[in-house]
Amino acid sequence: MTIRFIIATAVALLFTPVMPIRAAEHPVAHLPTTIQVPASSTEHPQAQAKEVSKADISAGIKKHIGSESKRSVDRKFHVKYKGQDLALDLIRVHDDRVSSIGGGKYFACVDMKTTDGKTYDIDFFMTGQPGNMKVTETSVHKINGKPLYNWKEVNGIWKKVST
């Protein structure tokens, strides 16, 4: 009797539809690491596309943070959060989380800190090609490790969701 029940349960589970629940800390959990983007026709006429790698994305965000920091009077990277101007120093780029998110858009997650010791996880969205990445959006994702929001994939589109 017990054997029959176990077998019946196992068979029933095989035919039960499974709906994956895709929520993630960042919108890169199941995305490709590179994407093909059109190359400029004047750079390489015979080339059809350039590949943007994780290293290109990481270098692009580091370049952006470095150039913005050099331009500021205090040599800090500045982000607005709830009406405050946060003056930040780079701790590290999460190279394991940089990613292409499709459509010529890229994502990078960065840890930064203020002079009072608070750490901020900043999410950056970028467009462009290697050597010429442009930041299109910046948001504070975590303060001292506590998330302000998470990411959830809905019909193939990643959206911010409350924690």
How much is the pTM?
A: 0.69
Q: Which CATH number fits domain 24-162: 1.10.3470, 2.60.40, 3.40.50, 3.10.450?
A: 3.10.450
Token readout for 35 is 């994407």
Q: What is the pLDDT along the chain (163 residues), one digit of tens a residue?
A: 666 655 655 555 444 444 344 445 555 533 333 333 333 334 444 444 567 899 999 999 999 999 999 999 999 999 999 999 999 999 999 999 898 888 889 999 999 999 999 999 999 999 998 888 899 999 999 999 999 999 888 887 778 888 8
What is the domain partition of the chain in residue ranges? 24-162
Q: How many residues appear in the chain?
A: 163
Q: Is 29 left (phi over 0), alpha (psi -120 to 50) or beta?
A: alpha
